Amino acid sequence: MSKQRLAKLVLASLSLVFLVQANAAPVVSDELRILSLDGTLLNPTNKLFEQPNGEGPPNTLIASVPLPTALFPDGATRVIELTDAQGVSDWLQVVSLVDINGLNTLQFFLISDEETPLTHDPNTNVSIPEAGDANHPLNGEGFLDVTNDVFSGALANPIGAASPLFVLVKSDTDATVAEPESSLLLISCFAALWLLRRRKH
């Protein structure tokens, strides 16, 4: 193969890498699972997505869960902050809403930073490393159990009973890893460049 053809192959491969990256499907970055006491998933929409290159504005996942009885006052709020080495990576805000009929609904808002750290919220009640700590070990699927953090303070159960739900969150599974196809193309490019350098010598 001539040097010219090899150089064209390298350029074509690099162009294909950039094309694949630009059109790559979004990948899961964060998850929120709200479970009943018997383990039933209550929020079917429970995943946040981001581009494989990690770029883009913050994403927000909203879930609404009605409670069988009115447990918490209208407007009671908890804010949980998840952190990484760069700062705040996610917020989980839980707000209690009570309608005129006394129906109590909990609104969950999970906000993910993509790659730009979020600004610290002065109303934060709890700050937890997204990789877990002694009080919040990651489970086998990489989730943090924040149930006790949600149902305390303003959302503490007034009758002292067990928390009405389980709340699990997984932060930033780091979608910035190259897609397998892109990795193979990059390897091919480097191999072609190596051959080109050998031919020059």
Averaged over successive runs of 10 residues, the pLDDT of the chain (201 residues) comes to 54 48 60 93 83 59 90 94 87 94 94 74 90 91 93 85 89 49 49 55 56
Model pTM score: 0.70
Q: What is d(CA 142, CA 66) in angstroms, rounded to the nearest whole number?
A: 27
Q: What is the pLDDT of residue 40?
A: 95
Specify whether the CB–CB gap between 73 and 97 falls below 8 A: no
> Roughly what angle, to the nearest 10 degrees, separates helices 3-22 and 180-200?
160
Q: Which of 157, 169, 163 is nearest to 29 (CA)?
A: 169
Q: Which of 78, 172, 95, 166 is nearest to 129 (CA)?
A: 172
